Each structure stands twice: as structure tokens, then as C-alpha cells.
A = this chain, B = another copy of it.
Amino acid sequence: MSDPVLVEVTRGAIVESRHRGAIAVVDAAGRRRAAIGDVSQAVFPRSAVKALQALPLVESGAADRYGFADAELALACASHSGEPRHVATAARMLAAAGRGEADLACGVSWPASRDAANALVQAGERPSALHDNCSGKHSGFICLACHMGVDPEGYVRPDHPVQREVTAALAALTDTELGDENRATDGCSIPTYAVPLDKLALAFARFVTGEGLSPAHAKAAQRLRAACTAEPAMVAGSGRFCTRALALFGSRLFVKGGAEGVYCGGFPDLGLGFALKCDDGASRASETLTAAVIAAFIPLGAEERADFADLLVPPVMSRVGVRIGEVRPVAGLDEALR
């Protein structure tokens, strides 16, 4: 496998580091609109498919039963920064089903937000599983189990009824068989399945259009997407890529990142989905590539272009705040995408 260099990191006039990767853009019928690098390689989408993993929560009626509004649904699709509103929303989701933090199996981690972490320290507290970036998704899983009338215990196991529902939704949207052979374990202990990059793009073309989906899947997808559009701050956190891009482009875009350099999303108005993987797993490269994909498919006004500039070509700054380099898509990428 030798994917092309797609992102360069410069220092002064010299390229200091290079990131390779692959990008698939397809429509809901699976027709390729753009294909850069090896788009049939199987990649673990990680958190980039959280919105697909949340489909059963909505479809089953659990979200309605527990009174979930946009904030809760967006948090179920989120890799959040552990800010107070994220923690409070996850706690509210669990409480709605009569459950709590002790039921979360994602593990404990410090909030990604330094402000949130420092606020915990100042209060003399330690992080809990609610602060983990996956606590919204896991709260959704626990609520789904309760709604299904099954014990949430062991809900991260591939053979638990919750994961069987989640895996079935992923398999349906990606047209991919998901089983022992392509399964590994995510950082939050749930199964993650390696799926061809172009099938992930297909899944998101379907997710943002409803085309090729059962009516129930299509309705749930529409509701989850609307929730993320309405509550972008819930999907990631202050200043983060997904939150900023969702806030900037509203209903013209769906986007979600995952660990190890994966981003997925789609353009509802264009009927297109995309998926990309940076070979080395770097977030700075996958973010810049995602920004390049967005800029290639959404016509940006002058104001949007200004607001988007530091996502498309993030500066490399010295620690006294001087711009000393940049992270940029390679020349010609824009043309290759269109």
C-alpha cells in the first residue's frame, strides 16, 4: 500500500513532515465521485461512525421514551471534550433510564479540554467515566439496553444484544459483513470493525440523504443529523474541528472524526458521502484533509472562507505566538477532489 502524500507540514520555506492518506467521495448509489489513494483499504472508523452506532437508540424508541432532545442525541454521536455541559448531559441520559456513572464501561479519562480538567483539579475532584470522550455514546448504549429490557451489564461485548443492534446498523449502512475477522477493540472497549474506505463513504452518503436506507434507518439518520446540526458544541467541544465545522456549515454538512486519522461525513444537498484515512493516524492531517474536502464541495463565501482559513491551513505557531509554518493540503488536491 502506498497512498500519496496529501498533507505537508512546513517550517519556514521547508517541508518538515509529510502525511499520506486516502480519500473516498461517493454518492448514495456507491458511484465514486473522487478516489485518492487506496479507497478499498479496510480501515477502523473508530469514533467517526458514532452517529451510525446511535441509529438503534433512535429507531428503537429509546430516545423518545427517555425524552432525549437534540443535546442528548448529539452527545450520543460525540467525542466530547469533557466540558461541564457534556458531563451533565451524559449524567442526565443515564438518570433518565434509572442508571448512573457506575454503569459506564468506557473507562475514565481526563477531559480533553484543559479548562475542564483544570476546573476539576481546582474543585479537588478527579475525572470519572462521565468525563471520558465516549460517555455520551455509552450512555446511549445503556439506555438502549434498558429500553430493550435487557441487562446493560456487558454492553460492550460483541455478543450483547446492544452491540448486535449497533453492528447490524453499521453492516446495513456500509454493505459490509462485520464479524470476527475484521473486529478489534476500540479504546472505550466496544468492538470496532475494519471497513473499506469507500463503503464508509457510501454509508455516509446514505446517512445524509436517506437514500438506500429502510424508512426506519432514514428517519433515525435524519433526526441524529439534525441534532448534531442544532447542537454542534455537543459533538466535540470548544474550538474543536467538528464543532466549528458543523456550526459554520449547518445543514449543508455532516462531519465526525475518529482516532487514528479517520474522518467521515457527507453533503446532504449534493447527495455525497466521504471517508478519509491518514495512513499514520495523525489528527492534524485528517483535519486538514477534511477541511480540503469540505472546501472542494461547499462553495465558500468570503466570510466563510475567512472563518475556515485556520482549519484549512492551520498555522504552526511558536510559543510566543509567531506563525513559523503551516499544515497544508498538497498542491493539486483541490482539483483531484472536484
Q: Which residues of A contact B (CB under 8 A)?
A: 1-2, 9, 11-14, 16-20, 42-44, 105-110, 114, 118, 121-122, 132, 182-189, 192, 194, 260-261, 279-282, 285, 317-322, 324-325
Contacts and interface: CB of A to CB of B under 8 A. Distances in A.
Given A17-B261, A132-B319, A282-B282, 19 more contacts: A9-B260, A11-B44, A12-B183, A16-B43, A16-B44, A16-B281, A17-B281, A20-B20, A105-B320, A106-B319, A107-B320, A184-B325, A185-B324, A186-B324, A187-B324, A188-B318, A188-B319, A189-B320, A189-B322
27 contacts: A1-B18, A2-B2, A9-B260, A11-B184, A14-B44, A14-B182, A14-B184, A14-B194, A16-B44, A16-B184, A17-B280, A18-B279, A18-B280, A20-B20, A106-B320, A107-B318, A107-B319, A107-B320, A107-B321, A110-B114, A121-B121, A122-B122, A185-B324, A187-B318, A188-B318, A280-B282, A282-B282
A87 B56 CA distance: 52
A186 B11 CA distance: 8
A189 B43 CA distance: 39
Q: Which of A16, A121, A189, A192 has the most CB of B within 10 A?
A: A16
A107 B110 CA distance: 25
Given A189-B319, A320-B189, A184 B12 contact: yes
List of 10 A-B pairs having minimum Cβ-Cβ separation, nearest first: A107-B319, A12-B184, A17-B281, A11-B184, A280-B280, A185-B324, A121-B121, A107-B320, A118-B121, A189-B318
Contacts of A183: 12
A28 B43 CA distance: 44
B280 A324 contact: no
Nearest to A183: B12
A44 to B, nearest CB: 6
Given A184-B325, A188-B318, A17 B108 contact: no
A199 to B, nearest CB: 16
Nearest to A133: B319
A304 B324 CA distance: 41
Nearest to A184: B12
Given A107-B320, A108-B319, A279-B18, A12 B285 contact: no
A132 B109 CA distance: 24
Contacts of A184: 11-14, 16, 324-325
Nearest to A185: B324
A52 to B, nearest CB: 19
